[in-house]
């Protein structure tokens, strides 16, 4: 039973990580719209923030192990870590509407947003 819980938690975490990796290109393009004269700077800032946040969130797993009774040991930490992609999804859904950016594509162009 414990092995299946851990396998499910790792599978869900891997799926969330894959989905979050899909957001890198649109985030870079969004940064280029925000600061068109500093595209390399904004790319470096966004990628540095992503790597830094990933590194800083790693201690959450062992710190939250055994937090919930229904999720034993390491699974509790992974459940807490899964809350971060859920929060990122909510913020990503709010961001484009608040900034007034819309995907626009003309003839022969593809939309990146």
Q: How do the domains of the chain map onto residue ranges?
A: 2-91
Q: Tens of pLDDT along 73-95?
A: 777 777 777 787 788 778 777 86
Residue ranges of the alpha helices (H) in 1-113? Answer: 2-21, 24-34, 39-57, 60-63, 74-99
Contact 111, 45 (CB under 8 A): no
Under-70 pLDDT residues of the chain = 1-3, 95-113
What is the pTM for the complete model shown?
A: 0.52
What is residue 54's predicted lDDT score, i.e. its pLDDT? 78
């Amino acid at each position: 039973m414990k092995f299946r819980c851990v396998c499910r938690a790792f599978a869900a975490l891997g799926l969330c990580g894959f989905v979050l990796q899909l957001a890198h290109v649109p985030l870079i393009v969004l940064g280029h719209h925000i600061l068109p004269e500093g595209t390399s700077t904004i790319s470096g800032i966004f990628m540095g923030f992503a790597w830094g946040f990933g590194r800083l969130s790693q201690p959450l797993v062992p710190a939250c192990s055994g937090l919930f009774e229904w999720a034993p040991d390491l699974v509790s930490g992974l459940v807490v870590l899964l809350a971060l992609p859920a929060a990122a999804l909510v913020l990503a859904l709010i961001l484009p509407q608040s900034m007034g950016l819309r995907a626009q594509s003309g003839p022969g162009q593809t939309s990146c947003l």
